[in-house]
Structure 1
């Protein structure tokens, strides 16, 4: 419809745009509507806008411009095979069609904001060409972060966080590619579509929160602060509330009575001695496996005439924050039952492994050659093996369940909740002194938690 290309070119050459008509522009797309449109629709609207601008430039002059503003206009000139009035009608028809198309684009945007989306299904997060760190780097650069600051900002993320976000970012890249969306400039409605699809796939509240955190690294804080996304997560919480990992726990006395059979310590082979000491340390400290894996020989101190072993943890752990105190572990000598004494077992382990270390300072090393330091996964496997042979159902309980069992047992035996919090590394008011003055403190209750666990008498 409308004028042919050759006719338009001829008209532009023969009739200049009047000076009083230079401000006739095509309507601009509303920014709110534009945010909800796909790249394809935006490009289509831009093409329509360019066409309407060109039509405005080609508009035949009116009678007023014939006599005044447009001296170059020649009344006798007309499009071959048609009258001037006919050409004007075609131009107006063409313009009306374009306006109708723009209205259709606006209607499509409104529908995108209100109707349920039908994005392409997510692929499994397995694209080999997606590098989580590089995606985050590119996102930061697009948000005007100086290149010299990139490595520092990336360093704020731990290895475990990067590993966790990697799955989320791969899923996001897959979703964006399937739906022709810019990874770094996606609209909030598209983020909602993405999160909703993950929810429909069965992801739990914690996993969805992890995906939101990953998207915040790419798209900025709006992912966490937008009221629509906040409302969406409230819905996630109500429809699929997070449940505790364990509804029940096991009795530490069962494991302690089993470990009492692994005695004397000097007669144990290195494998049994290793598994015994690491399980005892987990029970009497109630810390995470990560914390136990960070113990360094240089930070172990035997004091109070062999009444207590103190262990400082200087390396950063999961709960490390600016201004917070690092873990300080107290391991008592339990003389009432030396066969399950954690401090005595620890001293034996240190002496046994001393000639095998080759300057290895990390406490726990492999009981097989070449006796190198081990990962937290290995330590978890040792603990789980010990729980299994002790009679704990390891098809239900993992190594981390030691933390649940120990704190629950201490609470049942009447240990003050603040003492439990301090021992296990949870925040509590009783830690304010240590946080602000950075001094190593030992209160009178420092051993109560560990001693309550080692006392295997019935509650």
Structure 2
């Protein structure tokens, strides 16, 4: 891995241990575009962190916010099939979507395309608008809950259903339980039904 970095620096004519921060990012990006695995790129990130310091504000190259965002962006997503209901199966839906949009896709790498001609890749604002529209149709209060709330809502729902916290964090890519607990968990308070409470009270007195 170090030899790969040395060869990169030679091509770019840059210092091996004190390059501008954009160069090691370009190095990692080249590895990703070459089809190398996330594990290999993460190993390279650790190697670069041990090679040089980028100032006293951060512990290492790997702790730079821009590097963290890059690593988060290339983190591989895995979807499990749900054959018992194809309407809820993300694998079936994505396969069908890619098939239906293949004629418009050409060299477009982005997943979501506009349904309006000429079917260009959509912006994040459009995605947010779509999600908000679906939330409204589902009866969700979009004044209180925004499109970015769907992640924490789904995690909280699973936790309410007693799904193991470690499995939730691993699947969603969360590393620290404290951060997850503080910002993403929204446990629904227990609901109270007056009639049920009265009936249960009378039943217990028999």
Which TM-score applies when normalising by structure 1? 0.24
TM, length-normalised to structure 2: 0.50
RCO comparison, higher one (Cα < 8 Å, 6+): 1
The structure with the larger Rg is 1
